Amino acid sequence: MTNYPDIELYIDGRWKRASGVPVINPADESVLGTVPTATKSDLDDALAAAERGFAIWRKTSPAKRSQIILKAAGLIRQRVDDMATAMTLEQGKPIEQARLEILRGCDIIEWDATEGLRLYGRVIPSEEGIRHTVLRQPIGPVAAFSPWNFPMSSPARKVAGALSSGCSIILKASEETPAGAVQLVRAFHDAGLPPGVLNLVFGNPAEISSYLIPQSSIRLITFTGSIPVGKSLAEMAGRYMKPVIMELGGHAPVIVCDDVDPLTTATASVTGKSRNAGQVCVSPTRFFVQESIYQKFADSFAEKASQLRVGNGLDPKMQMGPLANSRRIDAMEAFVADAKSKGARVLAGGSRIGNRGYFFPLTVLADVPDDARVMSEEPFGPLALVNPVRDLDEAIEKANSLPYGLAGYAFTRSAGNADRLANEVEVGNLSINHFVASLAETPFGGVKDSGYGREGGTEGLQGYTVAKNVSHKMIPP
Ligand code: NAD
């Protein structure tokens, strides 16, 4: 298929073809290509390459490392149109969102590349004749696992974090949306990255993670995906005393106070919820709206949601593409049926569009009882749950009532409310009066079951380092 690249493994600076499983276009269920399955011997090659790559890369000057990484980002910027088309083909999101994801991935790579120049240690004041110096050293070869919802920017975060800190990496990207990672890796190859520093594999996720994590050469695990898988990988990493960065699921609350305009807030909410068809760990999901503006908010949310143009993401007029796979359709149908049976009202959407391609409309459910499954299980799709609350106390209590704690949102003009929300909402990322949850320069990650460790910002790079204290007693002359 034109515009869809060959999908290959990348080990020790060389591309390798292999047989594997088909990649499906979610807009029409056609086959785009084949994603290769790595064998044990491929994984052994990748491990040996990552060790050799680390030995080279850690000794490469930070300035040279930064130059190569920035060059890769520049190549990606030149290739954004082709990459965006491949992403829409394999993942479904509208082409403009695919472009933005790739450009945002470049922002992340570039920010990390320059921050890598500033991974300073420190000198601790001490008694005369002794100097305590804290060095920030790269932790070592990283095993990274990235998901299908952000085929380029999620791997980019992991690759940029590792490489900018002086680590090598074996990336196992999503088998369902492999082109984003292949094109990312190709840019690093073309930018002159030494062999072994970056390796890319695909295959059976459970087999690969259970093979790589115990290996003594692997020093850090980073995973983005579901909470159950994250817990099982963290457990395995714990058995081998490996640190982990876990970016897991969320069930983001949105607190809408009665001092904001319900219509403009509802319009912004439709844009925020429809991004990537809601298949985003920070997607706004549980809307808690103060009673006096509840009806207006819910009605205009439903009206704007019904007006969204849903279709093939390659058509630039479309505002929402298909869901990425048939599992998400099954999940949406089950959540909606369960919520309706418990008394929720469907204000917009509610059932699959057509039967070829995985299209599902932005669905607004109102007055959703707490015992509806979707109130406590992450929908990871285009479902918005709108419920009234009396006051800020009740809103905060409901926002904090689940074991998730990734992103949260609030809309208010009151500095007093904003201060309370900042202190009391149990999330890693709170956005007030907008829906942007993370940027290259800000730390991103969760609390509670949503994970630990941070990606992005200074904290993100520090996760790929160890602080080593060197205590040096001077020998008198
Ligand atoms: P899933 O739990 O089967 O897989 C989630 C991700 O983990 C996939 O990318 C998969 O390839 C990977 N994976 C699965 N088992 C693995 C293993 N043993 N070792 C390494 N990687 C493994 O679910 P799914 O149907 O693919 O996705 C649906 C759920 O996943 C959603 O409900 C959502 O909670 C979660 N998810 C979260 C994110 C995120 O950004 N945090 C991204 C994608 C999926």
Q: What is the pLDDT of residues 258-277, one digit of tens each?
A: 999 999 999 999 999 999 99
Q: How confident is the model at residue 2 (pLDDT cuts 50, 70, 90)?
A: low
The overall average pLDDT reported for the chain is 98
- Give 62-82 pLDDT, tens digit per residue: 999 999 999 999 999 999 999
Task: Please state the rounded mean pLDDT for residues 23-51.
Answer: 98
CB 90 within 8 A of CB 32: yes
Each domain of the chain, given as residue ranges in start order, spans 9-248+446-469, 252-432
- Give 134-150 pLDDT, tens digit per residue: 999 999 999 999 999 99
Q: How confident is the model at residue 98 (pLDDT cuts 50, 70, 90)?
A: very high
Domain covering 252-432, topology: Aldehyde Dehydrogenase; Chain A, domain 2 (3.40.309)
Hey, whose CA ends up nearest to atom 40 of ligand 1? 281
Closest ligand 1 atom to 148 CA: 9
Question: Of residues 477 and 344, which shows the higher confidence score?
Answer: 344
Write down the pLDDT at residue 160.
98
CB 389 within 8 A of CB 367: no
Helices (H), 165-251: 179-190, 205-212, 227-239
Pocket of ligand 1 contains residue 90 by CB under 6 Å: no
The CA dihedral of 292, 298, 301, 302, to the nearest 10 degrees, is: -160
Instruction: Give percent above pLDDT 70 in the chain.
Output: 100
Global pTM exceeds 0.95: yes
Write down the pLDDT at residue 108.
98
Pocket of ligand 1 contains residue 204 by CB under 6 Å: no
DSSP state, 277?
G
Pocket of ligand 1 contains residue 224 by CB under 6 Å: yes
Pocket of ligand 1 contains residue 174 by CB under 6 Å: yes
Tokens of 477: 């002359």
Write down the pLDDT at residue 221.
98
Catalytic annotation, residues: 247, 281
Alpha-carbon span 164 to 67, nearest angstrom = 10
Write down the pLDDT at residue 3.
85
Beta bridge partners of 91: none
CB 446 within 8 A of CB 408: no
Question: Which distant-in-sequence residues (6+ apart) come within 8 Å of 46 by Cβ?
Answer: 11, 12, 38, 170, 199, 201
Alpha-carbon span 412 to 416, nearest angstrom = 9
Alpha-carbon span 277 to 269, nearest angstrom = 13
Write down the pLDDT at residue 121.
96
Task: Please state the rounded mean pLDDT for residues 339-362.
Answer: 98
Helices (H), 224-283: 227-239, 262-274
Q: For a pocket test of ligand 1, which of 176, 226, 232 has the largest count of ligand atoms closer than 8 A to its C-beta?
A: 226
Tell me which residue of 431, 427, 459, 430 sits closest to 443, measured CA to CA: 459
Alpha-carbon span 406 to 477, nearest angstrom = 56
- Give 195-228 pLDDT, tens digit per residue: 999 999 999 999 999 999 999 999 999 999 999 9
Distance 134 CA to ligand 1 centre (A): 37
Helix 95-115 to helix 153-164 angle (10° resolution) is 10
Task: Please state the rounded mean pLDDT for residues 216-243.
Answer: 98
* Cα separations in angstroms, 120 against 63, 135, 466: 14, 7, 12
Tokens of 277: 């068809």
Beta bridge partners of 36: 20
- Give 153-184 pLDDT, tens digit per residue: 999 999 999 999 999 999 999 999 999 999 99
Q: Is CATH 3.30.1360.70 the right assignment for the domain spanning 9-248+446-469? A: no
Task: Please state the rounded mean pLDDT for residues 416-423.
Answer: 98
The answer on pLDDT for 439 being more than 70 is yes
Instruction: Give percent above pLDDT 90 in the chain.
Output: 99
The answer on pLDDT for 286 being more than 90 is yes
Helices (H), 361-409: 392-399
Write down the pLDDT at residue 266.
98
Q: Which of left, alpha, beta for 135 (phi over 0: left; psi -120 to 50: alpha)?
A: beta
Pocket of ligand 1 contains residue 438 by CB under 6 Å: no
